DNA sequence: CTCCTTCTGCAGCGATCGCTGCAGAAGTGC
DNA sequence: GCACTTCTGCAGCGATCGCTGCAGAAGGAG
């Protein structure tokens, strides 16, 4: 602490690459190949840096993936937080599903969801990353459930509604969309299906 | 061809293990770890045989996986064919979803669906297996769509029903259940959710 | 018994895995 | 200029990957 201006840059040799840009490239590789399917050689090649630079900047492969997952959550998957702010539960559900459909079928990005296909199954050495994504998906479910609970409390949803069941239904459908997108199913078909699914809300 | 009785056993040294039992063990390993997450060492260890015996009996890792997928289709995933024989479309949908729930949450088996988590993402060298599972999932969808088309033709479903949309909805939901099961969500909760989803049929 | 075929155990192939030691390059502070 | 810190390129670490050559074992055919 102090009044020192400290306008000088960081000490030492400056980085020869844009860490943010490198992280973006790494995200695309993990997104497409999954955690264990993306080798360090494949990653660093896409990032345009050497393995040494990658390890100096991000620690190791697992830490790089955690950074990537944060970026994914705040970037491609940010539709989730925005959807929570919709005034009605139906609005939330609609925004989530259309957000999933758009994010998992964007032409410029790998198809599917990083949080689903990043590490659905792993070898023995990848358990921690698998658990990380399990927690990531469960966290999404919890947020939706709490939002629907609030909707029940506010009278937006019928009082006998089970928010957990509704949240499980919605996230299950979202994960299913991610699998379909990863299989190459087109955006329009998925959106049409999501629309049809929400024509019955909230589940009779 | 001829009238030779040929009652003698096969020529050469007989196999020292039960190929069917070995295939079952391999299925469980692929189911849990996925195609690329299951190393040959892990597989052969579980199968109780040497790598040489595995290669002699099944060709290579990819051919072993194809054999395993066949076994999975006719075993744990056989509920699909049985469901098709239900008299009504609603019966088909109900049977499929409850079949998915039971198969993906069986305590004695890995959680989730081999056809989904077997190779949702792969490295460059695993593309063919990924494509194999994409085709496997698409085949499931096609069978359901054709069954629902028949239901429309028979008057079981309203004439304005889109069988493709309905089949896409059902398979999406099924794949989502597989992801949830792989994440540790319990059987009862998933079944309750499936029941609620089918309370609205056929999608308004 | 000898031939023939097939299967098994051992040992190890080249390639790739994630990761690191080291020396030099490229900056700042003095 | 020199000291100090950080980053980079090269080269290579031990481990594991999928897979195979080879010699011997274990059966049937004659």
> What is the model's pLDDT at position A1?
41
Q: Is the pLDDT of residue B1 over 70?
A: no
Check CB contact under 8 Å for B172 and A179: yes
| C27 closest protein residue (CA to C1') | A13
Intra-chain end-to-end CA distance of chain A, in Å: 60
Which ranges in chain A are annotated with CATH 1.10.10.60?
A: 19-68
Check CB contact under 8 Å for B168 and A177: no
> What is the model's pLDDT at position B10?
80
CATH 1.10.4190.10 fits A19-68, yes or no: no
Q: Which residues of chain B neighbour A179 with C-beta distances below 8 Å?
A: 116, 120, 137, 172, 175-176, 178-179
Selecting from A117, A124, A193 the residue whose C-beta is nearest the C-beta of B165 gives: A193
The CATH superfamily holding the domain A76-198 is Tetracycline Repressor, domain 2 (1.10.357.10)
Which ranges in chain B are annotated with CATH 1.10.10.60?
A: 19-67
Instruction: Give me the sign of the Cα torsion angle A50, A56, A58, A60.
Output: positive
- Percent of chain B's residues with pLDDT above 90: 92
CA distance B126 to chain A (A): 9
Average pLDDT of chain B is 95
Q: Which residues of chain B neighbour A175 with C-beta distances below 8 Å?
A: 175-176, 179-180
> What is the model's pLDDT at position A110?
98
Which ranges in chain B are annotated with CATH 1.10.357.10?
A: 76-198
Per residue of chain A (204 residues), give pLDDT as tens. 433 444 567 889 999 999 999 999 999 999 999 999 999 999 999 999 999 999 999 999 999 999 999 999 999 999 999 999 999 999 999 999 999 999 999 999 999 999 999 999 999 999 999 999 999 999 999 999 999 999 999 999 999 999 999 999 999 999 999 999 999 999 999 999 999 999 988 887
Closest C-alpha among B18, B127, B133 to residue B69: B133
Q: Is the pLDDT of residue B3 over 90?
A: no
Selecting from B42, B122, B193 the residue whose C-beta is nearest the C-beta of A169 gives: B193
Instruction: Cis check for the bond before B91: say yes or no (omega within 30 of 0).
Output: no
- Percent of chain B's residues with pLDDT above 70: 96
> What is the model's pLDDT at position A51?
98
Task: Give the architecture (CATH level 2) of B19-67.
Answer: Orthogonal Bundle (1.10)
Compute the distance between CA of residue A129 and CA of residue B37 in angstroms, rounded to an integer.
13
> What is the model's pLDDT at position B146?
98
Q: Who contacts B196 (Cβ-Cβ below 8 Å, separation ≥6)?
A: A165, A169, A203, A204
Q: How confident is the model over B14-44, as pLDDT tens digits? A: 999 999 999 999 999 999 999 999 999 999 9
User: Which nucleotide is nearest to B35 if distance is taken from CA to C1'?
Assistant: D18
Q: Is the pLDDT of residue B57 over 90?
A: yes
> What is the model's pLDDT at position A7?
53
> What is the model's pLDDT at position B87?
97
CB A174 within 8 A of CB A136: no
């Amino acid at each position: 602490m102090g009044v020192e201006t400290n306008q000088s840059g960081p000490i030492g040799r400056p980085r020869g690459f844009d860490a943010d840009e490198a992280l973006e490239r790494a995200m695309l590789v993990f997104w497409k190949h999954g955690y264990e399917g993306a080798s360090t050689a494949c990653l660093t090649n896409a990032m345009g840096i050497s393995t040494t630079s990658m390890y100096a900047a991000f620690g190791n492969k697992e830490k790089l993936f955690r950074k990537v997952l944060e970026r994914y959550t705040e970037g491609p998957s940010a539709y989730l937080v925005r959807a929570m702010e919709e005034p009605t539960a139906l609005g939330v559900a609609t925004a989530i599903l259309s957000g999933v459909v758009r994010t998992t079928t964007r032409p410029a990005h790998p198809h599917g969801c990083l949080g689903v296909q990043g590490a659905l199954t792993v070898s023995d050495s990848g358990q921690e990353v698998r658990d990380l994504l399990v927690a990531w998906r469960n966290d999404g479910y919890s947020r939706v459930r709490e939002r629907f609970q609030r909707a029940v409390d506010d009278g937006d949803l019928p009082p006998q509604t089970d928010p957990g069941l509704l949240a499980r239904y919605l996230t299950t459908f979202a994960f299913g969309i991610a699998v379909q997108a990863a299989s190459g199913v087109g955006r329009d078909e998925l959106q049409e299906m999501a629309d049809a699914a929400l024509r019955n809300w909230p589940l009779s």
